[in-house]
Amino acid sequence: INNPLTTVLGYAKLLQEDKPEGHPDRNGLELIASEAERMKGIIGGLLEYARTPRGSEQRIATPASGIAREAPPSCAPAAVIRHVTALLGPQLKRAKAQLATEVTSTPAVTIDAHALQQVLVNLVQNAAQAMTSADRGGGTITLGVRPAPGGIATLITVADEGPGIPAADRAKVFDPFFTTKDAGAGTGLGLAVCKHLIATAGGSIEVGAGPHGRGAEFRVVIPNAT
């Protein structure tokens, strides 16, 4: 599906370039291109959901037996958060949202850096959209990292100042294709993919009310690397 879809998208954009501003065909071509982009996102989400990520595994030898085994992927949460902050800065500025970080020193965690980045980008973007949809004119998203209780895992939180998620919907937000967004505004796959990536790393993700009972807060727990 991706190959013909890429052709449709490419030709739609070429045709747009041939049409001057105000041409009656331009709006239709823009719609074709935007819907093709949306379909690519749906397909990408389905593939990601169906695929078990292998991350950046590598072969290492155990001293006792000399038998090679695969090292699990790992990354430093603080480094990933710095990258996400830089990556989403312009987008959040347009949404009049501020990103505050509260990072405590933690060990590396058992997830590939690209997978953790995908999770955090999705959660932060959702938070910005929630505040925009509430007509708040922006707000603050707080991204925190600290040791989880027990000391064997790391807790990552993403909290916003939006309208929050009704208690009745909290158990369903991680289901594939469930969305509270307007038609065409979301695929309902983002949080399902997040849950899949975190579960593959041996962790968990849940959502509840934000600090002081307002907004929403997503809590991600990932085991520390050993």
- The whole-number pLDDT of residue 111 equals 95
Fold of 73-223: Heat Shock Protein 90 (3.30.565)
Residue 70 has pLDDT above 90, yes or no: no
Q: How confident is the model at residue 97 (pLDDT cuts 50, 70, 90)?
A: very high
For the chain, domain boundaries: 2-50, 73-223
- Among 94-98, 116-120, 135-139, 175-179, name the one with the lowest average pLDDT: 135-139
Q: What is the pLDDT of residues 144-174, one digit of tens each?
A: 999 999 999 999 999 999 989 988 889 899 8
Alpha helices in 67-221 (DSSP H): 77-94, 113-133, 167-170, 190-200
C-alpha closest to that of 143 among 101, 190, 110, 183: 101
Residue 6 has pLDDT above 60, yes or no: yes
For all residues of the chain together, what is the average pLDDT? 83
Average pLDDT over residues 110-127: 92
Q: What is the pLDDT of residues 14-50, one digit of tens each?
A: 998 888 888 888 888 888 887 787 677 767 767 766 6
Q: Which residue has the tokens 């600290």?
A: 146
Helices (H) and strands (E) in the chain, counts: 6, 7
What contacts 123, CB < 8 A, 6 or more positions away? Answer: 158, 194, 218
- Exposure on the CB side of residue 78, measured as CA atoms within 13 A: 9
